[in-house]
Structure 1
Amino acid sequence: MKLRFLGAGREVGRSALLLDDTIMLDYGIKMAEPPEYPVNGVRPQVIILSHCHIDHSGLVPNLMDLEPDVFMTPPTADLSNLLLRDSLKIAESTGVNAPYDSRDLHTFMYKTKTVDYRIKFQTHGYDVEFYDAGHIPGAACIHVTSKSRESLLYTGDINTSDTRLVSGAVDFPDADYLAIESTYFSKEHTSRKETEAAFINSLKNTLDIGGNVIIPAFAIGRTQEILMLLDAHGIRPYVDGMGKEAYEIMMKHPSYLRNPTHLKRAFDNAIPVKSSRRGDVPMESSVIVTTSGMLNGGPAMYYLNKLHDDPKSKMMLTGYQVEGTNGRMALDTGIIENNGVLQQLRIKLEHYDFSAHAGDKELKEIVRDFCDRGTKAVFTMHGDNTEGFAAWIEEELGVKAYAPAVGEEFDLH
């Protein structure tokens, strides 16, 4: 078994792992300015997608000229189509050269075969099985067994704790090798209960003084979870952006949701905002859940333009802010770039950890479990401190561990 790490090596973003020059596990984009792509020049015969987020899926249509076989879960297929079409539309409207066109997208959807969790399938002599990754609806860990009967478990993005939207991952197969995300290695999550209580308390305090609350949220996963949280506390928000379309797709796959009844109620109770009617949203004691989660465009920038100078109002970030994004700049400097204009934020800025990734304790427990069951080597990827994670594995568990750099190759025979 040969592994080539084409992205997500000692960084967060552009996940891409090539197995035996044949199977591509994810092929994503790093959402920086400008975007960063995986190492080029590969010709896989198979693409297997762990989930739809752009840092895992964003460049897959670029490979369609190779006519590969493409596999993913049913929700991932539908949600990827939504995200990739939106990315292409944004590129075309802003004059950016997109790495794929509408024909590539059509081929991508035509070539995609959908497979549910725990259904074994074969491709080019490899056995493959998806396991629930607990990250967002349809997210999968990918278990691949090679022709020589060596096995690899690629986690993609993984979470072993329940959220309001999905249940945590609980069941993993034995694997000779493990490639695991490391986003929150050395960082513990505050308990969800504490995070939710602090979030709701802060939000209500702002509403009580007549301020507005902007909640930038990822369209897939975070928007739905935040609306469920607000609904549970009797708060009726406005919802703007692609999270509405993502919700409609999720409701077509209820078996992938923890509580589809509550999700439906949360969206039924929210007030949808059309792009042409944003001016109708009252700028007094309003809660607005909107994309994009890292402030790289989207309707969030419209509302920030209205409220950036209002110290009574508040912006509550709910997700990881990648280096190089507008959201990270806002956190680090109190300044954002809005349509080419730098704006000093007088609006209050808060950041809450609603992560859908395993924290430090959970990551270590996952690796320990695999190693106890005979895993021979671990590869840490998709994190800012993958080297620290690999060192911990070798020191604490006595198992060989590597933190690959982008482009690095390993022959495991």
Structure 2
Amino acid sequence: MKLDFRGGCREVGRSSVYLNDEILIDYGMKPGEIAQYPLNNLHPKSVLVTHGHLDHCGALTNLIHDNSEIFMTPPTADFTEMLAEDTLKIAENENIPPAYNLEDLKYFMNRTNKVDTGMEFSTNGYKVHFYDAGHIPGSSSVYIETKEGESICYTGDVNTIDTRLLYGADVFPDADTLIIESTYFGEDHTPRKKLESEFIESLKSTIDIGGSVIIPAFAIGRTHEILMMLDSYGINAHVDGMGLDAYSIMKKYPDYIKNIKHLKKAFRDASVVKGKKREKLPRDSSVIVTTAGMLNGGPVLQYLDKVYKDPKSKIMLTGYQVEGTNGRSAIENGFIENKGIRQKLQTEIEQYDFSAHCGDRELKQLVKDFCDRGTERVITMHGDNSEGFARWIVDKIGVEAYAPSNGDIYKF
């Protein structure tokens, strides 16, 4: 068995693993001032996509002219197409020559096989099974049996804890090799109930003094969980950005949502903002949930342009901020880049860990469960401290563990 690690190693972003020069698992991009992509020069026979976040699917369009068999869950296929169309719009607005056009994209998506979680299928001699990863709607962990009978479980981004939007991940089968994310190795998440209480208390304190609250949120998943939370506390928010398009997709797949009725109610109770309506916001005591979650592009920059000098207002980040993004700069330096202008934030800025990933405790338990059932080796990736996780596995569990760098190839 040959595993070729093309991206997402010892970093968060541009995840990609190439199995036996035949099966490609994920092909994402790493956002930042200059986007980064996986190592290329590959022509896979099959492509398996775990979920519709850019760091896992954002470079798929580089494969648009290949004749690979492509497999995703139905929601992941729709989210991938939505993000690819948005990439074309950005290229047009910034006068960047696109690598593909809408016709190319439609051809690519028409070749995509949509497979529900829980269904086994075959591709080029490999047996594959998608398991619900509990990360965003339609997200999957991939279980593969090779032609030689070896078994691999690639978790992708995984969350074993229930949230308002989703149930936690499925129970996975035994596997000879486990490839696991390590985003939050060494860091436990605040329990959801406590986190929500702290978030709402801070939000209300800003509203009470007449400030506005800007809540940057990822378009797929985070926007929707935040709106459901706000709705449950009786807070009517404004919602803007690509999260609205993602909601339209989610409504098509109610079986992938924990409580579709609550999700629909949250959006009915929110005020949808588009186009010229943005000019009227924010007003005093406004709550605005909008993309982008890392402050890189999207409507959030228009809102920040209006409030960044207002010390009464607040920015409430809701997740991980990748190095090189505006969100990371805002936290560490108090600055963002907005339309080519460096802006010093006088608003309060807070970060909350509404993560859709396993925390340290859950990651370690997941590895222990696999190894107790006979897993022979564990490979850690998608994290800033993948090496530390691999060392922990060797020291505490006594199983072979590796933390590859991008470009590393392993043969077992």
Considering the TM-score relative to the shorter chain, is it more than 0.5? Answer: yes
2:379 matched to 1:395? no
CA distance in 2, matches of 1:100, 1:30: 19
Query: What does residue 230 of structure 1 align with?
Result: 230
Tell me by how many angstroms 1:64 deviates. Answer: 2.0
1:253-290: CA deviations, max 9, x gaps? 00000000000000000000012221123421000000
Tell me by how many angstroms 1:97 deviates. Answer: 4.2
CA distance in 2, matches of 1:291, 1:275: 14
2:108 matched to 1:108? yes
Which AA in structure 1 matches 2:91? A
Tell me by how many angstroms 1:397 deviates. Answer: 0.6
- The two structures have a TM-score, normalised by structure 2, of 0.99
Please tell me whether the aligned partners of residues 59 and 99 of structure 1 are also in contact (alpha carbons under 8 angstroms): no
Question: SS state of the match for residue 66, structure 1?
Answer: coil
Query: What does residue 154 of structure 1 align with?
Result: 154
> 89-98 or 264-273: which moved more?
89-98
- 5+ long unaligned stretches in structure 2: none
Please tell me whether the aligned partners of residues 281 and 303 of structure 2 are also in contact (alpha carbons under 8 angstroms): no
CA distance in 1, matches of 2:133, 2:4: 22
CA distance in 2, matches of 1:92, 1:20: 37
Query: What does residue 329 of structure 2 align with?
Result: 329
Question: SS state of the match for residue 65, structure 2?
Answer: helix
Query: What does residue 251 of structure 1 align with?
Result: 251
Please tell me whether the aligned partners of residues 220 and 246 of structure 2 are also in contact (alpha carbons under 8 angstroms): yes
CA distance in 2, matches of 1:225, 1:338: 27
Please tell me whether the aligned partners of residues 282 and 303 of structure 2 are also in contact (alpha carbons under 8 angstroms): no
Which AA in structure 1 matches 2:70? V
Query: What does residue 314 of structure 2 align with?
Result: 314
Tell me by how many angstroms 1:245 deviates. Answer: 1.0
CA distance in 1, matches of 2:353, 2:108: 34
Please tell me whether the aligned partners of residues 296 and 326 of structure 1 are also in contact (alpha carbons under 8 angstroms): yes
Query: What does residue 32 of structure 2 align with?
Result: 32
Query: What does residue 135 of structure 2 align with?
Result: 135
CA distance in 2, matches of 1:252, 1:272: 19
Query: What does residue 68 of structure 2 align with?
Result: 68
> 307-316 or 166-175: which moved more?
166-175
Tell me by how many angstroms 1:348 deviates. Answer: 0.5
CA distance in 1, matches of 2:91, 2:200: 36
Query: What does residue 362 of structure 1 align with?
Result: 362
Shift in alpha-carbon separation, 1:121–1:91, aligned structure 2, 3 A: same
Which AA in structure 2 matches 1:329? S
- 5+ long unaligned stretches in structure 1: none
1:279-330: CA deviations, max 9, x gaps? 1234210000000000001000000000000000000000100000010000
1:195-253: CA deviations, max 9, x gaps? 10000000001000000000000000000000000000000000010101101110110
CA distance in 1, matches of 2:83, 2:65: 20
1:44-97: CA deviations, max 9, x gaps? 011100000000000112112111110011111111111111122112211234
2:298 matched to 1:294? no
CA distance in 2, matches of 1:205, 1:24: 48
Which AA in structure 1 matches 2:286? S
Tell me by how many angstroms 1:105 deviates. Answer: 1.4
1:99-132: CA deviations, max 9, x gaps? 4432331122111111111111000000000000
Please tell me whether the aligned partners of residues 62 and 104 of structure 1 are also in contact (alpha carbons under 8 angstroms): no
Query: What does residue 173 of structure 1 align with?
Result: 173
- The two structures have a TM-score, normalised by structure 1, of 0.98
Which AA in structure 1 matches 2:45? Q
CA distance in 2, matches of 1:96, 1:308: 29
> 273-282 or 366-375: which moved more?
273-282
CA distance in 2, matches of 1:187, 1:385: 11
Query: What does residue 200 of structure 1 align with?
Result: 200
CA distance in 2, matches of 1:356, 1:158: 7
CA distance in 2, matches of 1:153, 1:100: 32
Please tell me whether the aligned partners of residues 308 and 343 of structure 1 are also in contact (alpha carbons under 8 angstroms): yes
- Structure 1 residue ranges (4+ consecutive) displaced by more than 4 angstroms after TM superposition: none
CA distance in 2, matches of 1:384, 1:60: 24
Alpha-carbon RMSD: 0.9
1:5-57: CA deviations, max 9, x gaps? 00001110000000110010000001122100100101101110000000000
CA distance in 1, matches of 2:380, 2:112: 28
Please tell me whether the aligned partners of residues 10 and 382 of structure 1 are also in contact (alpha carbons under 8 angstroms): yes
2:346 matched to 1:346? yes
